[in-house]
Amino acid sequence: MAVERTLSIVKPDAVRKNLIGKIIARFEAEGLRPIAIRRSWLSRQEAEGFYAVHKARPFFGELCDFMTSGPCVLIVLEGENAVLRNREIMGATNPAQAAENTLRRLYADSIGENAVHGSDSAENAAIECAWFFRTTEVHG
Ligand code: IDP
Ligand code: MG
């Protein structure tokens, strides 16, 4: 297995519920190392660019409204198999279908407001980390 990097976001719903520390502690407990962190209130342009792949989906407007509804926390995670590990820790997109003890099962309210983001491939992880962080801000 290879050491990878992936982008995690503690979404605005989880920030509002004061869950930043719990979520980061979970990543650390699972062996994923936060190597860059920034609390940020995304602009419309940042949210729409980040989710551009979903532009044609019916929920795109709702998703961008939600992601700009308050501050979030942007995190680059590093570790063995980090992309897949983070997806396993997050659980399914819809919290009703997420496995026991996953972050979304524990903390999410709905398929839209689902507590965390995680890159879905190594290729997208590189693009997403670069969308929010300069290389000089990421220190493994
Ligand atoms: P993922 O976050 O598990 O990778 P994606 O399919 O990439 O799921 O969708 C991106 C985000 O868009 C989801 O995390 C969720 O916030 C939102 N989303 C996905 N499907 C729906 C939906 O059917 N209704 C409303 N929002 C949705
Ligand atoms: Mg996705």
Q: What token pair was written down for 110?
A: 């709905």
Concerning whether 54 is annotated as a catalytic residue, the answer is no
Distance of CA 119 to the CA centre of its chain: 7
Ligand 1: which residue has its CA nearest to atom 9?
A: 93
Query: In this model, does residue 31 exceed pLDDT 80?
Result: yes
Q: Which residue among the candidates 14, 116, 117, 133 is catalytic per the annotation?
A: 117
Instruction: Give residue 1's pLDDT.
Output: 76
Q: Is 120 in the pocket of ligand 1 (CB under 6 A)?
A: yes
Ligand 1: which residue has its CA nearest to atom 14?
A: 93
Ligand 1: which residue has its CA nearest to atom 3?
A: 93
For the entire predicted model, the pTM comes to 0.98
Instruction: Give residue 103's pLDDT.
Output: 99
In this prediction, residue 32 has a pLDDT band, given cuts at 50, 70 and 90, of very high
| pLDDT over 70, % of the chain | 100
Helices (H), 11-121: 12-16, 20-29, 44-50, 60-67, 82-90, 103-107
5 touches 129 (CB < 8 A):
yes
| Ligand 1: centre distance to CA 108 (Å) | 12
Q: What pLDDT digit, counting tens, does each position of 60-114 carry? A: 999 999 999 999 999 999 999 999 999 999 999 999 999 999 999 999 999 999 9
| pLDDT over 90, % of the chain | 99
Average pLDDT (18-34) is 98
Average pLDDT (21-41) is 98
Q: Is 62 in the pocket of ligand 1 (CB under 6 A)?
A: yes
| Ligand 2: centre distance to CA 129 (Å) | 14
Q: Is 30 in the pocket of ligand 1 (CB under 6 A)?
A: no
